[in-house]
Amino acid sequence: MSTPYPFTAVVGQDDLRLALLLNAVSPAVGGVLVRGEKGTAKSTAVRALATLLPEIGVVPGCRFSCDPIAPDPTCPDAPHEPGVAMSRPARMVELPVGASEDRLVGALDIERALAEGVKAFEPGLLAAAHRGILYVDEVNLLHDHLVDLLLDAAAMGASYIEREGVSVRHAARFLLVGTMNPEEGELRPQLLDRFGLTVEVAASREPDQRVEVVRRRLAYDDDPAAFAASWGDEETAVRQRIVAARTLLPRVRLGDSALRQIATVCSAFEVDGMRADIVMARTATALAAWAGRTDVLAEDVRQAALLALPHRRRRNPFDAPGLDEDKLDQTLEEFSDSSGDDDPGPDGDGGGPGGGGGRPEPDEGPAGDGADAGARPEEGEGEPAPGGAGEQSPVRAAEPFRTKALSVPGIGEGAAGRRSRARTEHGRTTGARRPQGALTKLHLAATVQAAAPHQRARGRSGRGLVVRRDDLRQATREGREGNLVLFVVDASGSMAARQRMSAVKGAVLSLLLDAYQRRDKVGLVTFRGSAADVALPPTSSVDAAAARLESLPTGGRTPLAAGLLKAHDVLRVERLRDPARRALVVVVTDGRATGGPEPVALASRAARLFAAEGIASVVVDCESGPVRLGLAGQLADELGGTAVTLDELRADSIAGLVKDVQRRAA
């Protein structure tokens, strides 16, 4: 077994180390979600924590790590012989991103159950992680149904498995740690809320600290055992402190004053539900125990808020989690003034805002700036270089709205999502087939039908049905898949006419919101002047796409052909990387083609490439005004897709839906 990197040798990352240690002291805190860029010691710190956890006593031979002092009476391996125990280190179990549901929760051997009548259960990773650490790297890339199962087990402390009439329940209490890179996509808000604490990590910008990181890592790589031994005293001290804090934890007093501080802070940040209050209370108690105190102070409440609230505060879909520390300090100070509490207050220098505001709004140019420049191709659609005189300042996107449903026709087999029909492991049963590999979802009726004609030849006696391996049938299911939605946005001067770009950005932002809700990957191609650019390669982070859209400049001619060809190249490369994920191309334009030689003919030729390959496409017609040329509709015909206007794209305004809900509630 390789020697893990020492926990105490991790340079910096104080919040990360504190959050992990608090969960080691009190697993009831609910785990940690670590968000940060790649190469910031996220995985290293988590793996190092496992070596600090005290050894645990287990019942010998129990596959579910039952505690010999209080064994689980409902354990599948019960009954256990009393008084028999053995010690072993706490485990750290890693859940791969590509794991199946059966690998996570366990599986029943359906073939043995049918052929031999044996109800055999094979435990999964949840059972292996009981009383240890369950680590999920890149948790944001895990399928949603697996995240649901994982978080339900973490919340209930038990795992329930139902398979073809057989029910199994076993204890599953573990320290849940997930890591993720936000650039690869965000977790859904309802899943974020299930993690107790969250920590943002980033590489240090201090040269001395970066030098120390490299120096320690090189020393560890040269001789892991010697490097770990050099940190042995520090590791032992932290291990002893964890044991002492666990012993002290039941005696920590959480007074009414601290509870009111917690409630005041949660109300000030408008968090939904009561989970935030409960997690803050448990975290503040663990902080006091870690500090060797039996009373929770205001400083514990403040630190608990910084760890438990950033991912729970109410925010827009494309806003990153964060907490305004100035507001936090002000809230605690006002509470202290109003309550007359003598507890020490938080430090006054709480630092700057922690990213709790909304998206930054770029400066908007004068209302009439360039309004006439792109009204007609012959008026002002010059060939300015990016940043040149013909470029106009980015405009703010209009208010997003709920869009009509757009989907890819046919049935795919791509990643789980909510946009288009697909053959999946989860969904409604549509048929049966012979199993290819291990049988996972039995189609009982098809299995009986396959076995029935052979009963006389098999010497069937009595009422039993003789079933052989060849009779087994796998259920085929149909669910929904997530697509690659590639936005091809016209940013030319004609799109800036009559302040049209604000509405266009609002429409694309609305479509991005729809992609976020439907589990899609997104990409962004823009074209203007004389060329097209890939503003954002295909990614799961719709937040990055929204940020690029916000700063999108406009101006110049309309190289429609270049935009379509660039989009075609992006799809070709993405098809090599992920052949199963189907694409939906959304072209946002007024249909004019004015850039390059023979612009109209080249645009038509490029559009026919999409039609020839059967790529699903939608053209969002942005043409406005009393006189319309219908060029976007012609482009849609050549693409083999459909055209919708901005008005037709809109279903109901989000603001209108909120007002309607409020009116009904009143």
- Express each pLDDT in 570-613 by its tens digit: 999 999 888 888 999 999 998 988 877 888 999 999 999 999 99
Here the CATH number for the domain that contains residue 161 is 3.40.50.300
CA distance 141 to 152: 18
Residues 462 and 489 in one domain: no
Identify how many contiguous H helices and E strands the chain contains and give both numbers: 22, 22
Q: Are residues 471 and 528 in the same domain?
A: no
Name the least confident of 98-102, 121-125, 185-189, 407-411.
185-189
Q: Is residue 649 located within the same domain as residue 555?
A: yes
What are the strands, taking DSSP E only, across 540-606?
Answer: 583-589
Q: Which of 480, 500, 522 is the last residue of a domain?
A: 480
pLDDT for residue 636: 94
Tell me the Ramachandran region of residue 56: left when phi exceeds 0, alpha when psi lies from -120 to 50, beta otherwise.
beta
In a domain, 646, yes or no: yes
Q: Tell whether 184 and 320 lie within a shared domain.
A: no
pLDDT at residue 139 in the model: 85
Residues whose CB is less than 8 angstroms from the CB of residue 536 and which lie 6 or more positions away in sequence, other chains included: 522, 523, 524, 544, 545, 548
- pLDDT of 451 reads 83
Provide mean pLDDT across the span 413-436.
77
Give yes or no for a contact between 616 and 408, defined as CB atoms under 8 angstroms apart. yes
Weakest mean pLDDT among 195-199, 235-239, 334-338, 546-550: 334-338
> What single string gives the DSSP state of each residue in 413-464?
--SEEEEEEEEESSSEEEEEE--SSS--SB-HHHHHHHHGGGTTTTT--TT-
- Please tell me whether residues 610 and 504 are part of one structural domain: yes
Between the ranges 24-38, 72-86, 489-503, where is the mean pLDDT highest?
Answer: 24-38
- Which DSSP letter does residue 215 get? H
Residues classed as catalytic: 275
Q: Quick check: helix, strand or coil at residue 107?
A: strand
Angle at which helices 275-290 and 232-248 cross, to 10°: 120
In terms of domains, do 271 and 325 share one?
yes
* Cβ atoms of 191 and 144 closer than 8 Å: yes
What is d(CA 114, CA 331) in angstroms, rounded to the nearest whole number?
Answer: 63
In 3-state terms the chain splits into helix, strand, coil percentages (rounded to 5) of 40, 20, 40
pLDDT score at 359: 36
- Using alpha carbons, select from 294, 320, 322, 290 the residue that is nearest to residue 306: 322
1 assigned to some structural domain: no
Q: How many domains does the chain have?
A: 4
For residues 144 and 36, state if they share a domain.
Answer: yes
Query: DSSP secondary structure string, 340-389?
Result: T--S----S---S-BS-S-PPPPPP--TTTTTTTTSSTTTT---PPTTST
pLDDT value at residue 382: 43
For 171, the enclosing helix (H) or strand (E) is: strand 166-171
Contacts of 488 (CB under 8 A, 6+ apart): 525, 526, 527, 563, 564, 566, 567, 585, 586, 587, 588, 589
Mean pLDDT to the nearest integer, 362-375:
36
Q: How confident is the model at residue 617 (pLDDT cuts 50, 70, 90)?
A: very high
Among candidate residues 187, 203, 219, the one where a domain is terminated: 203
Question: What is the mean pLDDT of the segment spanning 457-485?
Answer: 78
pLDDT tens figures, 31-85: 899 988 777 888 888 888 888 888 888 888 888 888 888 888 888 888 887 777 8
pLDDT at position 356: 39
3-state secondary structure of 50: helix
Could you report how far apart the first and last alpha carbons of the chain are, in Å?
63
> Same structural domain for residues 278 and 136?
no
Which of 35-44, 442-451, 517-526 is modeled with the greatest confidence?
517-526
Instruction: With respect to residue 553, please indicate whether it lies within any of the assigned structural domains.
Output: yes
Cβ atoms of residues 63 and 124 within 8 Å:
no
Residue 245 maps to a domain: no
Alpha carbon distance 195, 190 (integer Å): 10
Residue 352 pLDDT > 80:
no
Task: Report yes or no on 498 lying in a domain.
Answer: yes
Here the tokens at position 531 are 């060329």
> Is pLDDT of 360 > 60?
no
What is the C-alpha to C-alpha distance for residues 227 and 197, in angstroms, rounded to an integer? 31
Which pLDDT tens digit goes with each residue over 311-337?
887 666 566 667 788 888 888 888 876
In a domain? residue 186: yes
Domain that holds residue 438: 423-480
Lowest mean pLDDT among 185-189, 199-203, 258-262, 475-479: 185-189
Beta strands in 465-570 (DSSP E): 474-481, 484-490, 521-528, 531-539
CATH number of the domain residue 618 falls in: 3.40.50.410
Taking the C-alpha atoms of residue 525 and residue 531, their distance in angstroms, rounded to an integer, is 11
Q: What is the pLDDT of residue 655?
A: 43
pLDDT at 648: 87
Q: Are residues 94 and 168 in the same domain?
A: yes
- Is the model's pLDDT at 496 over the cut of 90? no
Omega prior to 82 cis, within 30 of 0:
no
Give 544's contacts (C-beta < 8 A, 6+ positions apart): 183, 536
**Do 473 and 440 meet the contact criterion of CB atoms below 8 Å apart?**
no
One domain for residues 460 and 606: no
506 close to 401: Cβ distance less than 8 angstroms: yes
Tell me which range, 184-193, 298-307, 309-318, 335-344, is most confidently predicted by mean pLDDT: 298-307
Residues in the chain: 666
Which run of H or E residues covers position 87?
strand 86-88
Calpha distance 643→581 (Å, rounded): 23
Instruction: Single out the residue in 339, 363, 386 at which a domain terminates.
Output: 339
Q: Is residue 360 part of a domain?
A: no
CA distances from 597 to 443, 600, 603, 640 (A): 60, 9, 10, 24
- Do residue 541 and residue 470 come from a single domain? no
Angstrom distance (rounded) from CA 110 to CA 94:
26
Span 147-160, average pLDDT: 82
On whether the CB atoms of residues 159 and 153 are closer than 8 A, the answer is yes
**23 near 132, Cβ under 8 Å?**
no
Q: 463 falls in which pLDDT band (50, 70, 90)?
A: low
Are both 607 and 499 inside the same structural domain? yes
What gap in Å lies between CA 583 and CA 502, rounded to an integer?
26
- pLDDT above 50 (res 251): yes
Q: Do the Cβ atoms of 60 and 80 come closer than 8 Å? A: no
Chain centre distance of CA 487: 21
SS3 641: coil
Q: ω before 362 within 30° of 0 (cis)?
A: no
* 83 is a domain residue: no
pLDDT at 633: 92
Q: Which residues in 5-112 belong to E strands, given as ranges?
A: 32-36, 56-58, 86-88, 92-94, 106-108
Strand partners, 619: 587, 643
Average model confidence (pLDDT) across the chain: 80
CA-CA distances (angstroms) from residue 112 to 64, 252, 365, 547?
Answer: 22, 52, 72, 54
